[in-house]
């Protein structure tokens, strides 16, 4: 059960409610976000919801059965739209494309990418400056220096930035330069990081864990929400299965299932999802066809020379082709 408090609830009304819940032996967790205040209740046994409804200072009481509460659409029926500022929206029924290199490499690379995005009307650029790498000897990203360069070029062109944050200690420094914080697959269950991202007022894109279930992805989102941040985007990026013909198994089933369970926008990353450049366009189109709210795509002027993930990165020409095909697809969806 979720009890939504009125914005102007009086301290004595809140106390009455808390005492009432205690008397009814209903455990509750107060949640304060940038949008409102809620009490999340996990009653051990069935009880009459009307016993709560008469308390003053409540705007709504929602019966939410099941494991997920705040991220569930059982209480929030309308879909969440993420506002990244300057008219850049995710989840508004248009496909939000976020594209750019796996890793930020140089000023020239950023400018080339910005040009390719502008040409295609894309408003969000991706690019990692802190890279989680399987081998500690691989390129790990340009860090804050790279992020500042990234910001410089994007800011003057009205392009928003999505980039990965790997640990809570990085958030504060990154904050002025980032529009959407990405939590990578390897950090999907880093609960300290998730809670720290709950304390900021910026959108967070959560990737599904490498072997994560849909349920676990929703729980990760619940962590951020419960810590105070409602601006969440879910991302399917493929999971590890016994199949070895491609990098990951892009689970497009997750899109309708997540959208059936949650009010949060769902984005697909077909680049990591299949990991093979020549198949990324098809899987991106399939993602759009299955109802994704957005796409996260790796692009590079010269993918074969990319510092990371070149094998799954589209050239700018291939990206143009994808954008054209997405437009054609939209006419029949």
Site residues (vs Mn ion, CB under 5 A): 102, 309
Partner residues linked to 23 by β-bridges:
none
* 100/213 Cα distance (integer angstroms): 27
Q: How far is the CB of 176 from Mn ion (least distance, A)?
A: 24
Residue 237 near which of ligand PEP, Mn ion, none (CB within 5-8 Å, type-dependent): ligand PEP
* 121/271 Cα distance (integer angstroms): 20
Q: Which stretch binds ligand PEP (CB under 6 A): 2-10, 33-41, 111-119, 179-187?
A: 179-187
- 58 vs 297 by CB, closer to Mn ion: 297
Sites for ligand PEP among residues 100-119 (CB under 6 A) = 102
Under rule CB under 6 A, residue 140 binds ligand PEP: no
Under rule CB under 6 A, residue 300 binds ligand PEP: no
Residue 57 near which of ligand PEP, Mn ion, none (CB within 5-8 Å, type-dependent): none
Give every CB contact of residue 289 below 8 A, 6+ residues apart in sequence: 329, 333
* 231/80 Cα distance (integer angstroms): 8
- 293 vs 309 by CB, closer to Mn ion: 309
- 100 vs 198 by CB, closer to ligand PEP: 100
Q: How far is CA 179 from each of CA 18, 85, 187, 263, rounded to the nearest angstrom?
A: 37, 9, 19, 21
Contact residue for ligand PEP among 123, 237, 261, 277 (CB under 6 A): 237
Residue 143 near which of Mn ion, ligand PEP, none (CB within 5-8 Å, type-dependent): none
* 195/185 Cα distance (integer angstroms): 16
Contact residue for ligand PEP among 14, 123, 160, 207 (CB under 6 A): 207
Q: How far is the CB of 31 from ligand PEP (least distance, A)?
A: 27
Q: Which stretch binds ligand PEP (CB under 6 A): 105-113, 183-191, 193-201, 221-229?
A: 183-191
Q: How far is the CB of 128 from Mn ion (least distance, A)?
A: 7
Residue nearest to ligand PEP (CB): 184
Strand bridging mode 58-62 / 89-90: unpaired
Torsion over CA: 192, 152, 87, 289 (sign): negative
Contact 146, 106 (CB under 8 A): no
* 80/265 Cα distance (integer angstroms): 6
- 43 vs 310 by CB, closer to Mn ion: 310
Contact 293, 91 (CB under 8 A): yes
Contact residue for ligand PEP among 76, 259, 263, 272 (CB under 6 A): 272
Tokens representing residue 191 in the block: 């609960």
Contact 279, 265 (CB under 8 A): no
Give how many residues touch ligand PEP by CB under 6 A. Answer: 9
- DSSP string across 232-255: EEEEE--B--S--SSSSB--TTHH
Q: For residue 42, with 0-12 CB atoms within 10 Å meaning exposed, 13-18 middle and 19 or more buried, which class applies?
A: exposed
Residue 132 near which of Mn ion, ligand PEP, none (CB within 5-8 Å, type-dependent): ligand PEP
Residue 185 near which of Mn ion, ligand PEP, none (CB within 5-8 Å, type-dependent): ligand PEP
User: Which residues here bind ligand PEP, judged by CB under 6 A?
Assistant: 102, 128, 132, 184-186, 207, 237, 272
């Amino acid at each position: 059960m979720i009890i939504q408090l009125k914005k102007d609830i009086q301290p004595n009304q809140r106390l009455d409610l808390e005492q009432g819940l205690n008397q009814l032996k209903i455990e509750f967790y107060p949640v304060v976000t940038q949008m409102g205040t809620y009490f999340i209740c996990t009653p051990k046994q069935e009880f009459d919801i009307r016993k709560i409804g008469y308390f003053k200072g409540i705007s709504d009481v929602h019966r939410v059965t099941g494991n997920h509460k705040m991220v569930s659409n059982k209480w929030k029926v309308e879909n969440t739209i993420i506002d990244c500022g300057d008219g850049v929206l995710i989840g508004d029924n248009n496909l939000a494309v976020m594209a750019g290199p796996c890793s930020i490499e140089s000023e020239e690379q950023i400018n080339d990418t910005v040009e390719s995005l502008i040409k295609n009307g894309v408003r969000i650029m991706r690019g990692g400056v802190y890279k989680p790498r399987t081998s500690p000897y691989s390129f790990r990203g340009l860090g804050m220096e790279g992020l500042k360069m990234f910001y410089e070029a994007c800011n003057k062109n009205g392009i928003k930035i999505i980039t990965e944050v790997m640990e809570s200690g990085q958030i504060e420094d990154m904050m002025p330069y980032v529009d959407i914080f990405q939590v990578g697959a390897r950090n999907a269950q880093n609960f300290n990081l998730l809670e720290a991202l709950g304390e900021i007022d910026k959108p967070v894109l959560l990737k599904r864990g490498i072997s994560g279930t849909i349920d676990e992805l929703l729980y990760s989102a619940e962590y951020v929400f419960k810590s105070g941040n409602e601006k969440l985007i879910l991302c399917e990026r493929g999971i590890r299965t016994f199949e070895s013909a491609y990098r990951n198994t892009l689970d497009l089933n997750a899109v309708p299932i997540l959208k059936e369970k949650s009010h949060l926008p769902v984005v697909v990353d077909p680049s990591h999802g299949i990991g093979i450049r020549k198949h990324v366009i098809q899987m991106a189109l399939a993602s759009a066809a299955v109802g994704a709210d957005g796409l996260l795509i790796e692009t590079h002027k010269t993918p074969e020379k990319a510092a990371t993930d070149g094998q799954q990165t589209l050239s700018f020409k291939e990206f143009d082709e994808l954008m054209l095909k997405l437009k054609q697809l939209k006419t029949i969806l």
